[in-house]
Amino acid sequence: MAVVALTMARMKLAVLRHAFHGRRAHTAGTGAALGVLSALGTVYLAFVDLDLLAAGYAVWLLGWLLGPLFMGGGDETLRPEYFSLLGLPPRRLAAGLLAAAFVGVAPLVSLGALLGLLVAGLRLGVANALVAVPAMVLQLAVFVLLSKVSVAVVGLALRTRLGAIVSGLLNGAVLAALGQIWIFFWAFGQTGVPAAVWYLPSGWGLLAVRGRWWALAALAVLVLLLLAAWAALLTRRVGAARASARGRRPITAGTATGAVVAKELRTWSRDLVRNHQLTFALSYGLCFAASPLIIGWDGMLPYAGPIFIVMAAAMAANLYGTDGTALWLTLMTPGASDVRGRQLAWLSVHAPVAIVLTVALTALTGGPWPLILALLPALLGGAAGLVPLISAYALVPGTDPHRRAGNPLRTSEDDGGLTGLAYLMLALVILTGAPAALAAVWYGWAGVATGVLTGALCCWGFGLLAERRLRAHGPELLHVMRTGRKPHTTMKSRFDQLSKTQKTIASWCLGFGAIPLVPQGILASVFVANDMLRHSWFLATYMPPGLRYPVAAAFILLGLAMYGAGVWIVKPRSPGSGPSRD
Amino acid sequence: MSASTHAPALRLVGLAKTFDHKLAVDHVDLEVPSGSFFGLVGPNGAGKTTSLSMAVGLLRPDTGHAEIFGHDVWSAPERAKALVGVLPDGLAMPERLTGREVLTYLGLLRGLAKDVVARRAEELLAVLELDGAEKTLVIEYSTGMRKKIGLATALLHAPRLLVLDEPFEAVDPVSAATIKTILRGFVAGGGSIVLSSHVMALVEQLCDHVAVVDKGRVAATGTLDEVRGGRSLEDAFVGLVSDQVSGVKELSWLSSP
């Protein structure tokens, strides 16, 4: 048993050593740095207040439990499938994989956070400190195993449509509840830390350190139970996620774009991972907006639709990546437009849900119609534009659907990249809603016109950019998906090829273009509009009345021109034709 | 367009590609005459797939260019790609569609009329014996079925050149015979085929022209008889690409009593 475990741990170490190069090392490094900071914070709690420490460990537990579900299925460096020909009994396989699961950045950082147990023990006495050592190890094992079991359970659920939908609803509800946790504290009149955190499995280690020796035994029993559960689940993990076998309706489209729409709509309804993501976004939006009802406030309810749109867009952030190398078919048919079809399909899946949800809930609360109706088209258009754009520009190479292993949540080897992309999408989609929201807050119904306009513009313009990107860099994107590696040569190498003068001009333009554009241009005109004259260093506010706006406008133009010049110098020449120059 | 009527089906000029400082394809020049059945053979890692990917516009070469019937793949992609049908090795398809849906989708993308697509899809599915799996999604296909649906997508728009990467890998003998018949018929009707394979007997049986690729270079090219020079293709191939004279070594621990 020990030999298998040790071998698997060493195998994982070897894989990790090869995997962490370049961009992935950066992502992992950032993650590790954030983790170390959180661990230090947790250990610090051990010096302050043990109640807070127990609460801290509850948060770590939730991180282990839920993190992998939203970050591409968790750590799968060693897959159970690798060992299926060895004929290992399930328990030994699980034990070996568990040993390997301890090797890695996340367990190491968590062990660091669990040093808080040792600190707490040392402050209480020698015996307590001695108990802290096994408690740390057992507690870490509980974290890792709970994470593995939860991923396995959801993976199993994703084999049937019902399972995919139910787990999507549950995950959405849990995550929304965490986001709105303040409401629950408020509702229960709870001040400080609820006593329940002590009795979660995350608190047992601390209980043991404080002299409740039974907690140590309970931890050990839990580890054994979870190990047995995981072993049982591993034997049921065979084959990839199955598609549903419902009747097939024939494709009736007659045009190329219609064909893309038909293909995408079928994928949305047949791919159970997409079913899961859709119900997750829906459940998240509804629960997030509805949870203030607990304290008798319905003001957030109308926002369920907008939240759903933003979350659904984040789920689709790697649209092209999840289809993998199927991109070759798009490259072989340069006459047809893939992006427009995907946008139409995304809208026809999401817009009806969003519209019904928004209109129904806003009618229920009588709530701010102009603002909600302004946000709806702005966000829908923004998301439909950003989904193809971001997935074409910041593509995270995915695993081809037919090569995915038993974990259906695992669509890519670069889970850090996927998570980053989802957050980027959240932020950008929210931004596309901002102009319409501001216009609605200031001018009421004019906001709706703004929303329709920005939504249409985003959808059309970002789609156009995505289309161009695919046309110009299609072979490079395909290569990234074939090999799973991003080429290092993009802007940087082009920058290295520039002459010294060009470099200087480009760096000045890109580095300082923001100064005329933002403070001297945009901000200054806002100050002028609000009659805030002679304001610190904003030149336009010092001008005579007739010249204030022209000066601000001139600065905006200057800033835009500087950015334009900088980009023009740096941008690669004629990327669409001819051999690459990198 | 007179250039396209007399031009070779496929012409590669000085194609080169470097991956991570390793030269995968080293300035390959190759001409596939119009109407020929052309076999591309070479050991694993010789650069066959990389060369074919660059030839059809799926991978951008570092230097050099590729022409299909005189149309440059990179500067006139729409014309060049309309003339070629491609079966790449191991790439994904629209996985959540059935075979018929894949063909319908691709036919429409290629700009074919709806009824033409329906007719050709019906015929292709029947000939390749995929019509029994009417409700099966491509993701559930076996490796052999994936090859067959890939071949169907390559044939769908009636191209004049077929570029097939390992078309017979994992295909059962009955289906292989069907595919051979289809391919021979295609060449007899004036089409051209480039096919890569490890299986020498197959190339000898099907092809009239051969190129041997080794370490990213073309080691020999010409008609089948020119390249094999009176020997079997396998002997000629081993002679061209093998470094050691001594031949194949055995595994001592397997053959000892």
Which amino acid would we find at residue A309? I
Note whether B109 contacts A333, CB cutoff 8 Å.
yes
Provide the angle, in degrees to the nearest 10, between the axes of the packed helices A256-270 and B99-109. Answer: 150
Among chain B residues, CA nearest to A335: B78
Among chain B residues, CA nearest to A480: B59
Candidate from B93, B108, B139 with C-beta closest to A259: B108
Inform me whether the C-beta atom of residue A190 falls under 8 Å from chain B C-beta atoms. no
Measured distance CA(A327)–CA(A135) in Å, rounded: 50
Q: What is the pLDDT of residue A573?
A: 53
Which residues on adjacent β-strands are paired with residue B213?
Answer: B218
CA-only gyration radius of chain A, Å? 27
Note whether A333 contacts B81, CB cutoff 8 Å.
yes
pLDDT tier at B151, thresholds 50, 70, 90: very high
| Look-up of token digits 């092809």 | B207
User: What 8-state DSSP symbol labels residue A398?
Assistant: B
**Average pLDDT of span B27-43:** 91
Inform me whether the C-beta atom of residue B170 falls under 8 Å from chain A C-beta atoms. no
For B39, the 3-state DSSP assignment is: strand
Inform me whether the C-beta atom of residue A580 falls under 8 Å from chain B C-beta atoms. yes
Candidate from A266, A334, A482 with C-beta closest to B97: A266
Residues of A whose CB is below 8 A from B110: 333, 335-336
Sheet holding B22-32, edge to edge: B22-32, B10-19, B63-68, B71-72
From B121, B106, B183, B174, select the one nearest B144 (Cα to Cα). B174
Nearest CA of chain A to the CA of B227: how many Å?
31
Q: What is the pLDDT of residue A272?
A: 83
Inform me whether the C-beta atom of residue A161 falls under 8 Å from chain B C-beta atoms. no
User: What 8-state DSSP symbol labels residue B7?
Assistant: S
Residues of A whose CB is below 8 A from B99: none
Note whether B57 contacts A324, CB cutoff 8 Å.
no
Question: Please, are residues B68 and B163 in contact by the beta-carbon 8 Å criterion?
Answer: no
| Look-up of token digits 């290569």 | A479
Q: What is the pLDDT of residue A189?
A: 61
Interface test with chain B among A251, A411, A478, A485, by most B beta carbons within 10 Å? A251
- In sequence order, the 6+-apart residues with CB closer than 8 A to the CB of A127 are none
Chain B window 61-120: which residues touch A at a Cβ cutoff of 8 Å?
Answer: 61-65, 74-75, 77-78, 81-82, 86, 88, 90-98, 100-101, 104-106, 108-111, 114
Q: What is the pLDDT of residue A27?
A: 67
Which amino acid would we find at residue B147? K
Measured distance CA(A100)–CA(A470) in Å, rounded: 40
User: What 8-state DSSP symbol labels residue A81?
Assistant: G
Nearest CA of chain B to the CA of A488: how many Å?
10
Among chain A residues, CA nearest to B101: A251
Encode chain A (582 residues) as per-residue pLDDT tens digits. 577 777 777 877 777 777 666 666 666 677 778 888 888 988 888 888 888 888 888 888 888 887 777 665 666 667 777 777 777 777 788 888 888 888 888 888 888 888 888 888 888 888 888 888 999 999 999 998 888 888 888 877 777 788 788 888 888 888 888 777 777 767 666 566 677 777 888 888 888 888 888 888 999 999 999 988 888 887 776 544 454 455 567 788 888 889 999 999 998 888 888 888 899 999 999 999 998 888 888 888 999 999 999 999 999 998 998 888 899 999 998 878 899 999 999 999 999 999 999 999 999 988 789 999 999 999 999 999 999 999 998 888 878 887 776 666 667 767 677 888 888 999 999 999 988 998 888 888 888 999 999 999 999 999 999 999 998 899 999 998 888 766 544 444 455 667 777 777 877 777 777 778 767 877 777 777 777 777 677 788 888 888 888 888 888 888 888 878 877 776 655 443 344 433
Inform me whether the C-beta atom of residue A242 falls under 8 Å from chain B C-beta atoms. yes
Q: What is the pLDDT of residue B13?
A: 93
Inform me whether the C-beta atom of residue A164 falls under 8 Å from chain B C-beta atoms. no
CA-only gyration radius of chain B, Å? 19
Interface test with chain A among B25, B71, B135, B137, by most A beta carbons within 10 Å? B137
Sheet holding B192-197, edge to edge: B84-87, B161-165, B192-197, B37-41, B209-214, B217-223
From A380, A315, A378, A318, select the one nearest A344 (Cα to Cα). A380
Inform me whether the C-beta atom of residue A475 falls under 8 Å from chain B C-beta atoms. yes
Residues of A whose CB is below 8 A from B104: 250-251, 259
Candidate from A242, A263, A577 with C-beta closest to B97: A263
| Look-up of token digits 């593995």 | A148
For A125, the 3-state DSSP assignment is: coil
Interface test with chain B among A328, A470, A473, A577, by most B beta carbons within 10 Å? A328
Note whether B92 contacts A400, CB cutoff 8 Å.
yes
Q: Structure tokens of A561?
A: 């021109």
Note whether A240 contacts B139, CB cutoff 8 Å.
yes
Note whether B108 contacts A577, CB cutoff 8 Å.
no
Candidate from A251, A324, A335 with C-beta closest to B105: A251
Chain A window 390-419: which residues touch B at a Cβ cutoff of 8 Å?
Answer: 400-402
Candidate from A254, A325, A475 with C-beta closest to B91: A325
- In sequence order, the 6+-apart residues with CB closer than 8 A to the CB of A168 are A275, A276, A277, A278, A279, A280, A282, A283
- Report whether pLDDT(B89) > 80: yes
Interface test with chain B among A402, A478, A488, A577, by most B beta carbons within 10 Å? A402
Question: Please, are residues B130 and B149 in contact by the beta-carbon 8 Å criterion?
Answer: yes
Note whether B88 contacts A247, CB cutoff 8 Å.
no
Strands B161-165 and B192-197: parallel
Note whether B62 contacts A579, CB cutoff 8 Å.
yes
Interface test with chain B among A332, A337, A481, by most B beta carbons within 10 Å? A332
Chain B window 20-59: which residues touch A at a Cβ cutoff of 8 Å?
Answer: 56-59
Note whether B101 contacts A263, CB cutoff 8 Å.
yes
Nearest CA of chain B to the CA of A558: how many Å?
37
Q: What is the pLDDT of residue A497?
A: 65
Note whether A251 contacts B86, CB cutoff 8 Å.
no
**Average pLDDT of span B86-106:** 90
Q: How far is CA B131 from CA A270, B98, B101, in A?
A: 21, 10, 12
Interface test with chain A among B15, B86, B93, B117, by most A beta carbons within 10 Å? B93
Candidate from A245, A248, A479 with C-beta closest to B59: A479
- In sequence order, the 6+-apart residues with CB closer than 8 A to the CB of A118 are A129, A132, A133, A136
* B53-63 confidence digits (pLDDT tens): 999 999 999 99
> What does pLDDT average to over chain B?
87
Q: What is the pLDDT of residue B117?
A: 93
